[in-house]
Structure formats: structure tokens, C-alpha cells
A and B are shown apart, each in its own frame.
Chain A
Amino acid sequence: MAAATVTSERQFRRHDFWRALLLTVLCGLQLLPLLMAFFISFKTIPQFSRVPFLPTFPLHWENYLSAWEIVRLFLFNTVFVSGLTVVGVLALGSLAAYSFAILRYPGREFLFYLVLALMMVPATLTLIPSFVLVKNLQLLNTRWSLILPWIASGQVFAIFILRTYLQSLPGELFDAARIDGASEWQGYFMIALPMSKSMLGVAAILNILGTWNNLIWPALTISHLERQTLTPGLWSYQVENFTRYGFLMAGLLIGSIPLIVLFFFTSRWFVEGLTSGAIKV
């Protein structure tokens, strides 16, 4: 019996080797462009023309320094805009979700469906009218042209997942607090918010990924480069520096760092968020 387990164990390990090999090839090829960018990012133009895709020495770190000079502005803008957006989304979203999930009042279901229906409205339908609206509100070229519409659209999904989560909590939790004389606001601040910390994290990550990667909307509303966010910023940066390969790649890699750092600190929320985000239309 024991011997049989050992052989099958060894067999399994051998199969693992083949699985690992296949996965290494697939993931390796997938990540190859990034490795290429990494090698090129240390090159001067002559070094690139001599040996384009393998490391050359000496390494030219100054590519990173000069790229940082430009990209840091985009990074700062994105952190600011995505940061304010996610704070707004979590604040408004959790408040509305608490109201929908825990409190009772006439018309609650109807109001919730009014929010839920917006999950079926794609950004392409609202793109043009939103632009005209933002223009008429004199918000073009301000960060508000990004933050306000992004809070509005981002909270829909946050409300959806937070409401589901709050409804799954035992209702006695809130009833008991009410009997003890806690107000609705206390229920929100003292029970709902602390209990849904990880769900808030998931909603936050999804929202940050969405705003961080938005190319079209900021490219449309922000024409002053010094207020531009990272994604459209890197796009125009590429157009301008396409032949300065080392500098270009260094800039693209610097732009990738913040999300990777965020991932390392919040990988559980990331994984949950990415899976639940799939429900998003």
C-alpha cells in the first residue's frame, strides 16, 4: 500500500515536470516583450543598432533618470485622479449599498434597480454626450472631468458587490445594534464598514484597474500634457520618442511599477477582484 503511494507520488511529480515545462514556455513567451523592454531600456541608440535585443554593457541607467523626468508627472496625475476616484467610489458606494441592503423604506427596490440598470449601459453610448456635458460644465482640461464621471460610473459595480455582501451578513447584527439604540449612521460606521473591509478592498482594486487603464476618456478631455494621466500620457510619449528606444522602454517600465507594487501588497483582493470583475458587464 505504502509502496503504491510512493510510486504514484513519483509519477505525479514527473507529470508536474511536464506541466511546469509547458507553463514555463507559455508564460515565458507571454512575458517575453517585457523582458525585451527591460534589456532595451539600458541601451543607447548605437548600442541598440549593434545588438538590439540582448543585454549590452555598460548599462545606461540614465535612460531611467531622463524617462522619470517625464513619466513622473503622468504618474502623479494618475495617482491623484485614481486615488480621489476610488475614495469617492468607496464612500458613496458603501453608503448606498448599506442603505439598499440594511435599511427599509418604500421604493427601495425600485431605486436599486435604477442603479442596477446602469450596468447595461456601455461607455460607448455615453461617450459623446458625456463629452458635451463636461464641455458645457466648463470642466474640460480639469481633473474634475475625470474624477466626477469616474465616481459616477465606478460606484455602480461597487454598490452591486457591496450590497450583495452586506445582505449575506446575519441581520441580527444590525437588529441588535438598533435595539441597543444605535442610529442608522452608527450601524454604517461601526458595523457595516468594519465588517466589509475586504470587500471594499476588492471593489477598490477593480476600480483602480479600470481608471488606471482608461485611454480614450482622458485623451479626449485633457489636452494639457502636464495634467494628463499615465495611460494617454505613455501613448503620446511613445509617439514622440519612438526612435529613442532605450528611453522609451525605460518610460514604459517605470509606468508599470505602481500597479505591480500595489499587487504585492493586496494580491488576495486582486485575485478576488479579477474573478468577481468578470460579472461586470
Chain B
Amino acid sequence: MTARPAPGNSRDPLLLQVWKGRTGYLMLVPTMVLLGVFMYYPAFLGLYRSLFDWAPGLDADFVGLGNFVKLFTKDKVFQQSMGNMLQLSLWYVLSTVFVSLFVAILLHRMISQRLKYLYRFLAILPVIIPGIVLLMLWKFIYDATVGPLNMLLIAIGLEEWTRAWLANPNTALYAVMLRNFPWVDGVAILILLAGLQVIPQEIIESARIDGATNWRILRSVEFPLITGQIKLLTVLTIMWGVQEFTAVFAMTQGGPINKTMVPGMWMFWNAFRINKMGYAAAIGVILFVLTLILTLINMKYITTQEY
């Protein structure tokens, strides 16, 4: 019996290697066709069109970096949206890291495995509820006339505090920000828990024998060993915060008077409400560059760590 050599033996001439590897290429064809049409083409078109004053069906005028200049110097709404994005992202990072860390540690310290499993399930539960359902429920909670938040304020005698939380320019951004109270994030908890669980038991045991309290173990052993996970969560949350506009889209559409506008929403608005597609594409490019920078930071400093 003659064994067939592995395809693409590296001593063969190149063309023969290519021929021997034909099945490998063939298997990539459907993937590459779809990626080319629906990913690479739109991505390059987006980069290219950001340099134009462009509305579909009309001639496109080349404006170079004009769209970007306008965004950063003249467009007050865009500048406001960047500020809002920053505030939202900062809050998302703080709430995700602190609440999730607290819950993850409570779960990790649980002695009873049955209880641990039960509470882990309860913490994950919101993740498997469609996001839109939670957004709509929170929109209801903030409602001016029937919303439970105002009802609660009336019930405890703080009637003058009631307001239309999402329609009031002073509170809208905070209402969007503070939705999902108390911000138990199942995914973040799972990531931190995974980090805590791989800490070798011997380290904890020996610290305990040396007389370390739970608090001391947390501060001197567990925290340092899960900084990788915390950094990862931080970068991922910022990245998500830069892109995210589903919540704003569903709850306020950027209003009232652009108080909850975020760059993604402003891009959507320009592209599909007032047909300034080239201008909107430029916003997309800015978000892309921000994401790229964060990805590079992530690759350089964080994901090299095994977890």
C-alpha cells in the first residue's frame, strides 16, 4: 500500500503545491465570496465614500477630508455625541467592573455548590432575555404617567421629584445610562468567575494557613491574579460603548434635543433621515479608527495573557 503524501509537500514546485492543495482552496470559496461581497466591499466603500459629499442617486462630490474637518470643527451635535459616548462608556466600565466583581466574588466564595449554581443561573438569566424586552421594560419604568419609578416616588412622598425621565433634557442621558439597575452583568461575571476558578487552590490554602483573612486573600492574592480579566473587561466594555447605539435607538432616538445623541445614532440619523450618506460614512470611519486603536491596545497588553 502506498501512503498518499500530505498535500502541498513543501519541496514541490509552487504550482504543484497549489494544485495539490486545491481542495483546501475549494473549501474556502463560499466563505471568501460572502466575505468579499458583504464585508470587504462595504468596508472599503465606507472608507472611500467618507471622502465624498454623497447622497444615493446623486453625483458624489469629492471633498477630501472635508467631512472629518466639518465633524470636528462645525458639527455641535457630533461633538456633543462624543461627550455623551464618553460618559456612557465610562459609566458602563465602572458599573460592569465593580458590580460584576462583587457578584463574582460572592459566587466564588459560596461553599454550597447547589446555591452557587442557582445564583449563577439567576445572574445569567437577564442575558438570555432579548435585549429589546429589557429596554422596553425600562422605557416603561421611566414613563411619566404610569411608570413605576414615578409611582414609587409618589408613594414615599417625593412627588416633586417625579418627571418624564426620558423626555426631560436634564435627565434623559442619566436615565439611559442607569437603566438595568443594579447592573448585574452575566457575561462579565462569567469571565471574572472563570479567572477566579483557575487560581490554584494551594495558593489560597497556604495564605489561609499563614493566617490571611478572606479580605486579605482577596486583596493580595485574588485581585492581582485576575487583573488580566479586569483589563479585558474594561477594554471590551469601552469598545462596546463606542459602537453601541441600540439602547439609544430604542429608547430615545437621540432626543430630547440631542441630549442622548451618540455617534452611532448620529451616523444613522445623517444617513437615513437626511440622506447625507458620505458625511455619515465619515462618522463610521471615526468609530472604526477608535475601535482599531482599542483593539491594538487589547492585543498588545491584554489578550496575550492566557485565561
* A interface with B by C-beta (< 8 Å): 12-13, 15-16, 19-20, 22-23, 26-27, 29-31, 33-34, 36-37, 48, 52-53, 92-93, 95-96, 98-100, 103-106, 108, 111, 114-115, 118-133, 135, 148-149, 151-153, 155-156, 159, 175, 178-179, 181, 183-185, 188, 212-213, 215-216, 220, 230-232, 234-235, 238, 242, 245, 248, 252-253, 255-256, 259-260, 262-263, 267, 270-271, 274-275, 277-279, 281
Question: Which residues of chain A are near B25, meaning CB under 8 Å?
Answer: 99, 105
Interface status of B259 (Cβ within 8 A of chain A): no
* Residue B109 lies at the interface, judged by CB distance under 8 Å to chain A: yes
Interface segment, B66-74, B159-167, B170-178, B184-192? B184-192
Enumerate chain A residues within 8 angstroms of B284, measured Cβ to Cβ.
124-128
Residue of A nearest to B233 (CB): A278
| Identity of the chain A residue whose Cβ is nearest the Cβ of B271 in the assembled complex | A128
- Say whether B272 faces chain A, with CB atoms less than 8 Å apart: yes
Give bound CA distance, A230 to B49, whole Å.
32
Give CA–CA (A63, B46) in the complex, Å.
46
Name the residue on B nearest A120 (C-beta): B295
A95 to B34, CA, bound (A): 14
Cβ–Cβ < 8 Å partners of A31 in chain B: 122, 125-126
Q: Mark B104-122, 1 if CB is under 8 A from A, else 0.
A: 0011011110010001011
A13: chain B residues within 8 A (beta carbon): 111-112
User: Which of B23, B38, B106, B151 touches A19 (beta carbons < 8 Å)?
Assistant: B106
B residues in contact with A53, CB < 8 Å: 148, 151
Contact code string B50-70 (vs A, CB < 8 Å = 1, else 0): 000000100000000000000
Contacts of A277 in B (CB 8 A): 187
Chain A residues whose C-beta falls within 8 Å of the C-beta of B115 in the assembled complex: 16, 20
Write the chain A residue with the least CB distance to B3.
A179
Contact: B35 with A118, CB < 8 Å?
yes
Given A120-B291, A256-B129, CB of A271 within 8 Å of CB of B281: no
30 A-B residue pairs with Cβ-Cβ distance under 8 Å, sorted by A, are: A13-B111, A27-B184, A30-B180, A33-B137, A34-B129, A92-B31, A95-B27, A96-B31, A103-B7, A103-B8, A104-B6, A105-B7, A105-B21, A121-B288, A125-B46, A129-B41, A131-B272, A133-B38, A148-B34, A155-B31, A155-B35, A156-B39, A184-B27, A188-B27, A230-B130, A234-B133, A235-B136, A260-B128, A275-B187, A278-B191
Which residues of A are found within 8 Å of B148, using beta-carbon distances? 36, 52-53
Contact A274 B137 (CB under 8 A): no
Q: In the complex the two chains form, is A30's CB within 8 Å of B184's CB?
A: yes
Q: A52-B151, A234-B133 are in contact. Are A124 and B288 (CB under 8 A)?
A: yes
Q: Is the CB of B110 within 8 A of A16?
A: yes
The one of B7, B35, B132 that contacts A184, using a Cβ cutoff of 8 Å:
B7
- Taking CB atoms, residues of chain A closer than 8 Å to B99 are 26
Which residues on B are within 8 Å of A, measured CB to CB? 3-4, 6-8, 14, 17-18, 20-25, 27-28, 30-32, 34-35, 37-43, 45-47, 49, 56, 99, 103, 106-107, 109-112, 115, 119, 121-134, 136-141, 146, 148, 151, 180-182, 184, 186-187, 190-191, 194, 232-233, 236, 239, 243, 245-246, 249-250, 264, 267-268, 271-272, 277, 280-281, 283-285, 287-288, 291-292, 295, 303
A256 close to B133 (CB less than 8 A): yes
A114 shortest CB reach to chain B, Å: 8
Smallest CB gap from A119: residue in B: B295
User: Could you tell me the distance between the alpha carbons of A184 and B24 in the complex, rounded to whole angstroms?
Assistant: 8
B11 to chain A, nearest CB (A): 12
A12 touches B111 (CB 8 A): yes
Picked from A105, A115, A131, the residue with its CB within 8 Å of the CB of B24 is A105
State the Cβ distance, B51 to closest chain A Cβ, in Å.
Answer: 13
Smallest Cβ-Cβ distance to B123: which chain A residue: A27
Q: Knowing A34-B137, A148-B34 touch, does A126 contact B46 (C-beta < 8 A)?
A: yes
A281–B21 CB distance below 8 A? no
Residue of A nearest to B23 (CB): A184
Interfacial chain A residues near B18, Cβ < 8 Å: 105-106
Chain B contacts of A128 at CB under 8 A? Answer: 46, 49, 267, 271, 277, 280-281, 284
Q: Which chain B residues border A119 with CB–CB below 8 Å?
A: 295
Task: For the complex, give the distance between the alpha carbons of A275 and B49 in Å.
Answer: 36
